[in-house]
Amino acid sequence: MNAQEKTLYDEIQEIRALYPVSRSATLPALRLAQERYGWLSPDAFRSVADALDETPAYCMSVASFYDMYHLKPVGRHLVEVCTNVSCALVGAQQVLEAFQSELGVHAGETTEDGEVTLRTVECAGGCGWGTVVAVDHRYREPVRAEDVPAIVEELRRGR
Amino acid sequence: MAAEQFVVLAGAEEHALTKLADYREAGGFEALAKARLMEPAQVVQEILDSGLRGRGGAFFPTGRKASFLAKGTGKPTYLVVNADESEPGTFKDREIMFRVPHRLIEGCLITAHAIECERVFIYIRGEYLTEFEILRAALEEVRGADLLGGVTVVLHRGAGAYICGEETALLESLEGKRGQPRTKPPFPAIAGLYASPSLINNVETIATVPKIVELGAKEYAKIGVPPDSSGTRVFSLSGNVVNGGNYELPMGVTLRELIYDLGGGIPGGRQLKAVIPGGSSVPVLTADQIDVPLDAHSMAEAGSMLGSGAIIVMDDRCCMVQLGLRVAQFYMHESCGKCTPCREGTRWMVQILEAIEAGTASEGELELLLDVCDRILGKCLCPLGDAAAMPVASYIDKFRIEFQEHLESGCPMRGESTLEHVLAPVDQHTHDPVAEVPA
């Protein structure tokens, strides 16, 4: 077990102690592992399972239920465009198309250099300020198609 | 003209109250001190007398829900706050956590005292990172100021699943499982979190409790439209409206006042076509119904519901078939898969709506769609199936001519609808399970 994994293990133990039943720590532990590994790789599942006395299969069965866990590698940056009704009414399609053309990928894909994953998400909860775009989990509201080049430029510069 | 009335958001009219000192200056935590001098049963009685009803969407009397909790079981009682806001159109709980995080915590502590509970879990939707950080900082301040009084408050982040807003799915998720609803009974008040008596309340509901204690149940009950719709709601206004955002209003204000007086009306000189008054799961209202007051009784008479208090405004460029398709896509994506009418029915709805929008559906398919809706309604374990079938059936009911036009000659909007190319999220979980199962 390397040093990084030991820290993850210890961190998961701290979370575990917050709950009367340790299985409750599954979601936060998966989140921590994903932050460490970039995605929920087989190694990530093994680490979580070890730390919680669960099986990797159990952890995967839980992770596959939730949209925020990445079961495949993703880019260093994550761009999520809400396309639910409120955002769609005020131009989410055009915002998404602008990201697709600026990044050269479709929703659900990662740029060739592995930098940016673009995806569409269901209602992000910023409906009055649509279109909502989450860049690395920070909401930008509202985003219009003409704002997209600057956001992509910012990501490309690695800010 | 309707005016905002700040109860839940009191003190945060101009700036967010994210510092404990500022919150205390605005009278914060005085209600907690007052409540702790009262007998627990007395606090429950106050909540009962206030007429407060659940702000998550079900509108169940909060005091009654608390009074159902099993006593003398030898097990701990838990308070679980539902901050998994995800009904499309709704963003009020986010605003409450952002602007008055301490009021939510104070409400938790008062409620914990009322139901004699020592452990509180706040289940916050995973996407709300900023709000989680604000709440965490507020909780640290409250802990530092020795206000917790022996109560442990744990912030638990979700991971992206609409269904976890359903209370038993939320409990499953909090127990570290897939978020699939449980069969009821037993109800959470008897066997909830870890099979112990549990009270689950929405953020806005809990954040209202300090004001009820402060004002007294009698005074609070006078706000709005007593006895069934007492108090304020933080209404989320979105869609084709000039000033989208959250507005805290006494119940009973009309949709017209909210949309035109406060919301600034419809932009670009367009005409109002339809309004969703309580989140995407409730039946739609037409433009000639907007004089209906925003209270439970009036909404029911108009054939809809206040739901989560999310008002989505649509102008004349919105194709109602596309709207139905987008709504059905959402609920299909979020169906947990546990029970058949919802899992299969939402897929059927999407397929038929796609055919209607494409102009390839036959006359009988509109009836088939209504039949599918009927086979979902009231036949599922949880309200998610209803949440898909109810609105779509209402679009057909209210805009039947538009659906007929699709059957006869395709979409009458001819590519000009605001929802053209409605995009449901691509499936994030398409993967090769065999290649990825750890050895």
- Answer yes or no: is pLDDT of B436 > 80: no
The CA distances from residue B394 to A27, B89, B370, B388, B403, in Å, are: 37, 18, 10, 11, 12
Q: Model confidence over B326-364: pLDDT tens digits? A: 999 999 999 999 999 999 999 999 999 999 999 999 989
Q: Model confidence over A109-153: pLDDT tens digits? A: 999 999 999 999 999 999 999 999 999 999 999 999 999 999 999
Q: Model confidence over B38-49: pLDDT tens digits? A: 999 999 999 999
Numbers of helices and strands, H then E, in chain B:
19, 11
Could you tell me if A90 lies within 8 Å of chain B, comparing CB atoms?
A: yes
Q: Which residue of A has its CA nearest to B127?
A: A137
Amino acid at A112: E
User: What does the pLDDT read at residue B87?
Assistant: 97
Q: How far apart are CA B79 and CA B232, in angstroms?
A: 23
CB contact under 8 A, B159 and A84: no
Q: Model confidence over B17-33: pLDDT tens digits? A: 999 999 999 999 999 99
Chain A nearest CA to B318, separation (Å):
8
- Cα B351–Cα B356–Cα B358 angle in degrees, nearest 5: 95
* Chain mean pLDDT for chain B: 95
User: What does the pLDDT read at residue B429?
Assistant: 45
User: What does the pLDDT read at residue A158?
Assistant: 77
Strand ranges inside chain A, DSSP E: 77-82, 109-110, 116-121, 133-135, 138-140
CB contact under 8 A, A90 and B245: no
CA B322 to chain centre: 23
Could you tell me if A4 lies within 8 Å of chain B, comparing CB atoms?
A: no
Residue B127 near residue B161 (C-beta atoms within 8 A): no
Please tell me which of the candidates A27, A119, A124 has its beta carbon nearest to residue B176.
A27
DSSP characters over B89-145? T--HHHHHHHH-HHHHHHHHHHHHHHTT-SEEEEEE-TT-HHHHHHHHHHHHHHHHT
